[in-house]
A and B are shown apart, each in its own frame.
Chain A
Amino acid sequence: MEDLKAYIETGILELYVLGDVTPAEKLQVEELASKHPAIKAELAEIERSMELYAGENAIEPSEYLRSRVLGSLLTNFGDDNDFPTQTHTERESVVVTRPYKEKEINFYKYAFAACLVLLLASAAALYNLYNRLNDTNTRLNAMQLQNQHFSTTVSAKDSELNLLRDTSFKLIRLKGTEKSSESVMTVAFSPSKQKVVIDMEGLKLPANDQAHQYQLWALVAGKPVDLGVFDATADSSGFKNMKAIASADAFAVTLEPRGGSESPTLSQMVVMGKY
């Protein structure tokens, strides 16, 4: 009994009521209380006086708080499984101990820095890529132009080749007259197709001026027939279709005023060739 009294005198029971004991002390107090009515009675007295003391120091909370609190309790009334409401979880997350909190802040700090670095790196990479894309687009356009140029050239060459393969065509070489002995040109003539084509690329005629043009003539039964005009320039290329005719004995070219003449000026004849 003396021991119990000494135990009570230590003040441990007061601390127990205040929740200020270790788990071991708590167990000890509870065990002793269940065995000794004296301790149980002492505890009850301490509890009662602390409760009354709290009552003396009570502060009435605002009127509106009553409905708020009761509302939050009764919202899930009858459904205990749902009870851990948001308020509850929020509280759990709000109660963070200090070391953990600092770690968390550090984590966000680093995460933010990492994000920034990533953002900058991506921006640089994007800029680089954008430049390359532009470059590629320019080159692609140039290639397309070139390609177009090639395909037109190829199709032109193709048609030229086809013309040369066409057996109905005959190639007539017109040779230079005394007036211009160096001149030479080729005429392709197909009587069956009534087509006359001149080779502009192999053309060797003195370049004509702005006021004059060369005119191609066909001699049919001794009479000259106009087959159209053309210019002799250094960079002329391909074949040129002339006016149609069914038959010809010979072809000749004279230099005429621009637009051509009704009849050839014989003194200005530069080349001639027989069919």
Chain B
Amino acid sequence: MSEEELVLSLRHREKIAVEALYDMYSASLFGVISRIINDTAIAEDVLQETFVKIWHSFSSYSTEKGRLFTWMVNIARNLAIDKTRSKDFKNQNKNQDIENNVTFIDEQRNTVYKPELMGVKNLVQTLKPEQRLIIELVYFKGYTHVEAAEELGIPLGTIKTRLRMAIQELRKHFN
């Protein structure tokens, strides 16, 4: 099923479309959620909430504004970040002081590199370490570029350029 067909049948709220949506995107979305939330059970909850929200607010998605996955991954990332800031989640993490949120997010989201999560493929060699790090922070950890700049001690402009270069590398890689 192509993306256009999928969007169309989701608009018509067809059962088969929901199943196709899950089969096509659950792994990619779960990959992003799992990097923000280490606890598998909570990550699974967030994945479920993500699909509920996608299904519920599907009318607000428009193909004009971009790809379906871009829209969905932003929903998933926001829900996951919301979850890390939620009461339940913090209680589980012994009520750490989160005034300094960047350090906290570090601990919460475990920036330690996990090869089994990162998909050790030739892709890893494609990106330079600093490019990989910025993608990891912004795309997978849910940092804003401002937070990433603070965290890495790098000017905002450099962060933006570095992010752009990293994505350029990915584009080359996928072409």
Contact = CB atoms under 8 A, between A and B. Distances in A.
Contacts, number: 161
B117 A73 contact: no
A94 B86 CA distance: 6
6 pairs of A and B residues whose beta carbons are closest in the complex: A11-B160, A58-B27, A11-B164, A19-B74, A95-B82, A54-B28
Interface of B is mostly: helix
Interface in A19-43: 19-20, 30, 34, 43
Nearest to B35: A57
A43 B64 CA distance: 11
Interface in B58-117: 64-67, 69-70, 73-74, 77-79, 82-83, 85-88, 98, 117
B66 A59 contact: no
A51 B67 contact: yes
Contacts of B85: 95, 97-98
| Range class of the B interface residue count | 35 or more
Classify the secondary structure of A's interface with B: helix
Contact of B56 (A56, A78, A88): A88
A49 B171 CA distance: 5
A149 interface: no
Interface of A: 9-12, 14-15, 17-20, 30, 34, 43-62, 65-66, 68-70, 72-74, 77-78, 80, 83-85, 87-88, 91, 94-98, 101
A233 B111 CA distance: 110
A49 B77 CA distance: 17
Contact of B138 (A20, A47, A96): A20
8 contacts: A10-B160, A14-B163, A58-B27, A61-B26, A61-B30, A69-B51, A77-B15, A88-B56
Given A14-B163, A57-B119, A94-B83, A50 B13 contact: no
